[in-house]
Amino acid sequence: MIFTLYRGPGAFNDDCVLYLDTKPGGFTSTALFSDNGDGGRTAISGLNGGNGSRTVAIFSPGFGADYAISIQNNFIGVYELVAGGNNSLNYLFGQAQSGNNLAPSYSITMTAAQLSQIHLVAGDATFYVEGSLISTTAYRSNETFGPSVTVPGDSSGNAGFSNQQTFQGPLTDMMIPEPGTAAVLGLGLAGLLCFRRRN
């Protein structure tokens, strides 16, 4: 399967984190993640270990996050979600990107074995997605996949470094196509991947 995300207008200078609900159970928020092992893990966690600030994403009722995809302009990484500190989020696999923050799209090709690592099987798997635009220093934007309410931390209406974002429902349920069919899962990111990096 090829998973492709399309950049909206403006440069992609932040991290887009997609949380995946693929199996029963899972996390109801990001409050238990404290991983600052690298920029992608910091974005998934929402914790800035340097200044101690935390911005929590609260998932919608019935949504339990099991995995996360961290999309940066030079790398896409897929992680199993685990509560804990540095390097606790279990890196599963990833793929280098162009490194250009003006690239029109960002893609990762997932093999059948990789899909099974995140509890997905072609032709027999529906999963749910919620996502947030957040910097690799854990400054959270108000732009999301799936409807949400953001408690603003500054005049721009973003959660910033210390406020929360509450999802009202998943972006959508998605079906993994049968092998041999069009196996491209595309998510339009118009207006989502254009927010400036915050420090």
Q: pLDDT in tens for each of the 199 residues of the chain?
A: 788 888 888 888 899 999 999 999 999 999 999 999 999 999 999 999 999 999 999 999 999 999 999 999 899 999 999 999 999 999 999 999 987 888 888 989 998 899 999 998 766 667 889 999 999 999 999 999 889 999 998 888 999 999 999 999 765 555 555 544 334 444 444 334 433 334 4
Report the amino acid identity of residue 192.
Answer: L
Closest listed residue to residue 138, CA positions, set 57, 78, 19: 57
Q: Considering the entire predicted model, what is its pTM? A: 0.88
d(CA 20, CA 184): 17
Q: What is the largest CA-CA distance in the chain?
A: 49
**Running DSSP on this structure, what letter comes out for residue 126?**
E
| One-letter identity of residue 37 | G
d(C-alpha 133, C-alpha 144), whole Å: 6
Q: Specify whether the CB–CB gap between 105 and 5 falls below 8 A.
A: yes
Domain parsing of the chain, residue ranges: 2-189
